Chain A
Amino acid sequence: MAQKIKESKWMPILVPIVSVLVALLIASVIILIIGKNPLLAYLKLFEGAFVGRAAWADNITKMTSLLLTGLAVGFGFRAGVFNIGAEGQMAVGGMMAVMVGINMGNVSPVFAIPITIFAGMLGGAFWASIAGYLKAKTGAHEVITTIMLNWIAYHIGNYLVSGPLAVGQGVPKSPEIAKSAQLPPLMTIQASNVPSGILIAVVAAIVMYIILEKTTTGYEIKAVGYNAYSAEYGGISISKNIVLTMAISGALAGLAGAIEVMGVHHRIFGAFTSGRGFDGITIALIGQNNPIGIIFSSFLISSLRSGSNSMQLAGIPDDIVVIIQGVIIFFVAADRIVKTWITKASTKLAKEGEAK
């Protein structure tokens, strides 16, 4: 019986759900410790994320980039690559999109938009490929190289907006990209724009699903991720696949940066990624690295993020969301603990059922 539950096809969905619930419970205890009311905190969180049109617009704006960084990390995971560098790749993607986008003045949007998007994806792909290449050629662990590349991207971004690309006074920022390269809003609700980038992000998720599940390339990538040695024995080139995986993963993160620039601020500020590359790790893990799962998990995290502002107004520091994310990842890593809980609970339920 216990074994049957452990192997149940529901487990991949149950583990993240239970992890989220446990994380919320632990966060409640932490909120209680500083003398605040966790129920009030979660109520504010809910309001900030879902009540009113502005909340929804903000939520969907946040979800767009999170969905893409989640896909970026998830795609890497499928191939056995731990791309912790979505942060830097997103930043480079945004920088490239700005540098190309400000020059699109006389170009028709029909060309300007795809060219600018492509520039962002290329930037992210290039940035990630550095780590992929080093891993394939010298075995340098991608966790270290991508973290270093994050820092380098961060400093280059700050340099660009206070040096070559700087405009205006005050907060260092780049010029706006040309009108023709800006993504039109999907709809405008009382001064809140719902960006059309969400459509691109959802399409990216579906494309990734098709690549992974229906193509030979996807099969090879998954085979390398599952067991690199037997994949090589089966005639799949590991090093080619690692570079390719990193490039695709980086392109997705770069797309996040480009869409953010083109649809939201139309420019970059220094370090504009503000942790969304790291959020991608949480999202990929909760979504079990499945593109469709990632659509749902990115919505979960974007709701936490957009709700955290109104929680902060109620006096609860928004960092609680980061703790919640950390605890979720912790239990996803230790999924066996969660599986054991679920198995025990369901066995108990089954026994009680029999007793009746």
Chain B
Amino acid sequence: MAQYLVLIYNDEAALDAAREEDPRAVTAEHGRFAAQHGAALRGGNALEPSSTATSIRPDGAGGFTVTDAPFAEAKEGLGGYYVIEAADLDEAVDIAKQVPTLGGGVEVRPVMVLD
């Protein structure tokens, strides 16, 4: 088995609107996903909106540049993640397809095992 990080990208405006309409609906969808794929889940959480993100880049001279905003700017923002376990990429993709997203999608990345 291998571990994959599933990064959840949402359209934050759509997410806000959905939360305004029914704050429990989004959580409930993730609850359903977690119940269905509990065996594969190794962790995960929601993240505060990308407006709360801080990016830190080495400046190349031994110091750092700390800036407001997420590392990569996109229409969609990183909204949360799961760590899942799957036999191969096809299985990971099958699970990731069922992660609820709002106006966005997910990225799947193998976790490098360091030992």
Asked whether A and B interact, the reply is no
> Measuring CB to CB, which residues of chain A are less than 8 angstroms from any residue of chain B?
none
Which B residues are within 8 Å of any A CB, using their own CB?
none
